[in-house]
Amino acid sequence: MVRVLVVDDSLISRKYLTRILEESGKIQVIDTASDGLEAIEKAKTLKPDVITMDVEMPKLNGLEALKRIMIENPTPVIMVSTLTTEGASTTLEALHLGAVDYIPKNDVLNFNKITKDARELLIEKIIAAKNSKVAKPRLIKQTEPVSVKPPKISEITKKDVRLIAIATSTGGPVALEKIMSEFPKVNVPVLIVQHMPATFTPIFAKSLDRISTIPIKEAQDLEIAENGKGYLAPGGLQMSVYEKGGLLIIKISDQPKTIYVPSADVLFESCAQTTKDKTLAIIMTGMGNDGYQGLVKLKKTGGTIIAQSKESCVVWGMPRKPTENNIVDYIGDLEEIPEIVKKIVG
C-alpha cells in the first residue's frame, strides 16, 4: 500500500483525488494539506511515501514547498498541473527542482469523466513514484544482479547507423537535457519520444534545443528527418518513421490508441520496419514497459540497443524488461550514454 499526502488548496480537488487514489485499492491517502507550509510540516511528521502537490496555493506555493521538502525531508513529489502553457513551464521547472512526475489537474477535476486509461496511468505514476530514486537515496547501492554486463566503452563496436531513436518517461525531461547537452554531433536524425501532454512538448522542445549539441524541434507530420537534427514527438500523438524516395519521413498520427501517447513501441516498431539494422535505439528512465515490444522487433532486424542503467534511472521501468531479457547491447549510466553513442556512430 502506497501512503500518500494530497496537497491542494481546493477542497473539491482534494476530495476527488483522494477518491480516485483510494478506489484503486493500492493507495492510502494518509492526510491532506491545503497549502505549502502545511505540506512541509505534514511531510516531516507523517513521512508519506509520495506527495501530490498543487502549484498555486496560499501562504506558500507548490514550487516553494517542493524546494523545502527536497532539502529538509526528500520525498517523491508528483505535481498536479494545469495543461496550459504557463502550467507546462511551471511543471518543467518543478521537475528540475526534484519532482518525480506530474498528473493533469483536468483528470482530477473531471472526476466523473476520467477515462479508464487516464485513471490507470494516474495510479501507475503514484506507485512508480514510491519506488523512484528520490524515495531511496543511494547511500547504499541497492542493485540486483542483471545478466547483461555492460561492456567497457573501449570494447564498443562501430556500426553503420542511419537513425537514432530515444524513448523515456518518468525522469525523462531532466535525463534528456543531460544527455542532449553532451550528445555527439551525429550525422543522422535523432527521434525522441517523451511521455508528455500536447501543451508541454512545444516548450520542452525549445528547452532541449537551447542546451542540445544538435538542433531540436517538435516534429511535424510528413517532414523529412534530416541528418544532424533532433525531433521530439508531439504530446498526445504517435510518432513513427517511414522511407520514401530514399528519404526518412516522420509520420505524426493519433493512431494507434495506446495508454502512453506518444508511445515508444510505435516509434521502435516503425524503426524495425524502416531503418532495421541501421537503427540505434536508446531506452531510458521511465515507468512501465512501453518500448519493450518495439525493441524485441527491432532486435530481430539487427538494431542496436542501449539501456540506461538501473542505478542512474529515476524509475527503472522501461529499461528493466529489455535488460533482464538480454535484448540490449549496451548498458550505461546517464552520463555514459553520449560516449557510447559516439563510439557506435563514430
Residues annotated as catalytic (active site), given as ranges: 169, 195, 290
Residue 275's SS3 state is: coil
Report how far residue 174's alpha carbon sits from residue 171's, in angstroms, rounded to the nearest whole number.
6
Check residue 114 and report its DSSP letter: -
Check residue 312 and report its DSSP letter: G
Strand partners, 29: 4
| 35 touches 11 (CB < 8 A) | no
| 32 touches 4 (CB < 8 A) | no
Interacting residues of 45 by C-beta distance below 8 A, sequence separation 6+: none
> In angstroms, how far is CA 234 from the centroid of its own chain?
14
Residue 241's SS3 state is: strand
Residue 313's SS3 state is: coil
For 51, phi then psi, to 5°, come to -120, 130
Query: Where do runs of H (alpha helix) occur along 49-200?
Result: 62-72, 85-96, 105-109, 116-130, 172-180
| 334 touches 177 (CB < 8 A) | no
For 323, phi then psi, to 5°, come to -70, -50
